[in-house]
Each structure stands twice: as structure tokens, then as C-alpha cells.
Amino acid sequence: MAITYHDLYLKTRMALSSAGIEAAQLEAREILCAAAEKTAEELYRDISLYTTDAIAEKTEALQARRLAGEPIAYLLGEWSFCGLPFFVSPAALIPRVDTEMLAQLAMNRLKEHPGHTRILDLCAGTGCVGLTAAALLKNTRAVLVDLSDGALDLCKRNIRRHKLTGRAVSLKGDALQAPSHALGQFDVLVCNPPYIPTGDLAALDTSVKDFEPLLALDGGEDGLDFYRGITELWQPALKPGGHLLYEVGIGQAEKVAWLLVKAGYENIRITRDTGGIDRVVEGQRPKEREIPDMLHETMEEDV
């Protein structure tokens, strides 16, 4: 039976809100746009027209996946971070609003370094943090490192999406192993590692624990494995005076700050996210050991 976009929208919205989905209005619109391959503007323009059976079926299929708990971002295949669109897939965490503070502070620190700058995004996932910096700061080059092939695939797609092939690369690497010298040194090392204590994983929301990758969430017994490993092993990848910035989970900021103090970092700072949670812990590698200029130049040639 022929049905208009408007009727299909109302039907979808009703199904989502009866299932307790808070943003039913917004999600119904996004599902319809994805099924019909229309922008929101095109959907509003065509709202009183008849849709096709294929679009109605596609809408129902997406709605069923959503009702089974799958995050809307995975249904859509993309999500926005710091106002920029990023491809997403179940191979990487969906970019969180909380993480925008990490990207913002990383960009602030990059701006403190004169001339061309390099940022390393470790455990990059979609690459949203490093690529936001490269997209918004034209003098910045980004290296995205992740252990997961699926995440690296997303990084590559996001690099191309933002036309950053000249200034960003993705590489396979393990954050818990010492970095290769070939990476050179960076002005900023930014990392949103897995930080949920293993024992807390079972209590996460269904949409997180059943759909997002465990590899990106499990931070070991106390959730701090990656902070310990990276703080100990990755300092050589920072230029003297370079900044290390971590996103941390609730209640972890002070412990992570101590790890930085013990490793000799200076100017330790803790910053809250917009929800009032201590979210970013950062420190600066001491400046005193200057690297000869010649060495700087060779290192800056590789991205």
C-alpha cells in the first residue's frame, strides 16, 4: 500500500518512542534519510510525496536493528565529531561528545608550537581526534595508530573523506609496545585508550557492550593498563616540550596524573568535559634536552 514519507516518519517515530528511545524524533528522521538516501532538507521537501516499497522496507529493517539495541550511528554508517562527519563501523568506538574536549585541548597545544606540527593519535579508532586537528589546523600533520585492521580501514576512509591524504597517514601499531624510531617525534601525542575496568564491562549499556568493540573498551583489571604502558614506553615519541594528552574515565584522572608525575612530565593539568567529569589529563615532556635542528628536519619529512 502506498504510503507518504510523512506517514512513514510518524510510524517510525512511534515505534522508537514506544520502545523508550528518547531521541525518537531525531532518530526517526535520520533512519528515513538513510533509507531514502536523502538529506534532511530533501526529506522535508518531499515529505508529502509517496515513498516506494523498497524505501519503506529499508526503513523497517533499520528500525528493527535500532529496536534490537544497535546504536543509531552504526545504522547510519557515519557520525559527527567536533562538527565534522566521520565514517563509523562496529570496528571502532563511535566518537563521543566527551572526547571533543580531548580534540579541543590537543589543538590548543598544537597552536603553542610554532610552524609545522605533528600529532600522533594513538588507539585512533575512527581517527576522529587526530583528523579533526589535521582538518582544522592547516600546518598540522597527523599519524593515526591502531592495532585493529577494521579501525585502520575506517581511518583510511576518513582520511580520504576529509581530503587529508597529503597530511595524514594511518599505521598499524600496538600502544603497549615501544614505538618504532621510524615514527619520528611529535609535538602532541593524544590518546583515548580502552579504559573500562574489565569487571565493569558487563554493566555497560547494551548499546555499548553488545555492539561496540571490546578491544576499544577493556582497559584491564583497574582500567589503567594503557595509561601505564603508554606513559612508560611512548615518551621518546614526543619532542622535548611536546604534550601528552589522555582521555580518562570517571574517577581515573588523579591516578593517571600521578603516572605522568612519576614519569617526569611537567605542567600536569586535568580538564573537565562539558558534563563536569574530569576527562582529560595532560603533561609536557621536559624541554631541557634540545634536539639538534638537523635531526628535526629529517624527521619532519615523513608525515
Going by the annotation, the residues of the binding site are: 146, 192-195
Strand partners, 140: 117
Q: Which is nearer to ligand GLN, 55 or 278 (CB)?
A: 278
User: Contact between 148 and ligand GLN (CB under 6 A)?
Assistant: no
Whole-angstrom Cα distance, residue 148 to residue 215?
A: 8
3-state SS, 179-219, equals CCHHHCCEEEEEECCCCECHHHHHHCCHHHHCCCCHHHCEC
Binding mask 65-104 for ligand GLN (x = CB under 6 A): ----------------------------x--x--------
| Closest distance to ligand GLN from the beta carbon of 152 (Å) | 17
Residues 262, 265, 269, 271: is their CA dihedral positive or negative?
Answer: negative
Among 63, 132, 170, 192, contact with ligand GLN (rule: CB under 6 A): 192
Among 196, 224, 230, 253, contact with ligand GLN (rule: CB under 6 A): 196
User: Contact between 134 and ligand GLN (CB under 6 A)?
Assistant: no
User: Contact between 194 and ligand GLN (CB under 6 A)?
Assistant: yes
| Closest distance to ligand GLN from the beta carbon of 234 (Å) | 17
| Closest distance to ligand GLN from the beta carbon of 129 (Å) | 11
| Closest distance to ligand GLN from the beta carbon of 131 (Å) | 17
Among 195, 227, 234, 246, contact with ligand GLN (rule: CB under 6 A): 195
Q: What letter would DSSP give residue 235?
A: G
Whole-angstrom Cα distance, residue 208 to residue 155?
A: 21
Instruction: For Cα atoms 124, 130, 133, give the angle at the middle one, nearest 5 degrees.
Output: 165
Q: Which amino acid is residue 156, in one-letter code? A: K
Q: Which amino acid is residue 149, in one-letter code? A: D
Q: Give the interface segment with ligand GLN, choosing from 48-56, 159-167, 190-198, 254-262 (CB under 6 A).
A: 190-198
The kind and range of the H/E element at 11 are helix 5-18
| Closest distance to ligand GLN from the beta carbon of 32 (Å) | 27
| Closest distance to ligand GLN from the beta carbon of 282 (Å) | 16
User: Contact between 176 and ligand GLN (CB under 6 A)?
Assistant: no
Q: What letter would DSSP give residue 88?
A: -
| C-alpha cell belonging to residue 251 | 574517577
Closest CA to 127 of 166, 79, 184, 199: 79
Among 144, 217, 245, 259, contact with ligand GLN (rule: CB under 6 A): 217
Q: Which is nearer to ligand GLN, 4 or 198 (CB)?
A: 198
User: Contact between 126 and ligand GLN (CB under 6 A)?
Assistant: no
Contact 109, 64 (CB under 8 A): no
| C-alpha cell belonging to residue 279 | 576527562
Residues forming the site for ligand GLN (CB under 6 A): 93, 96, 192-196, 208, 217
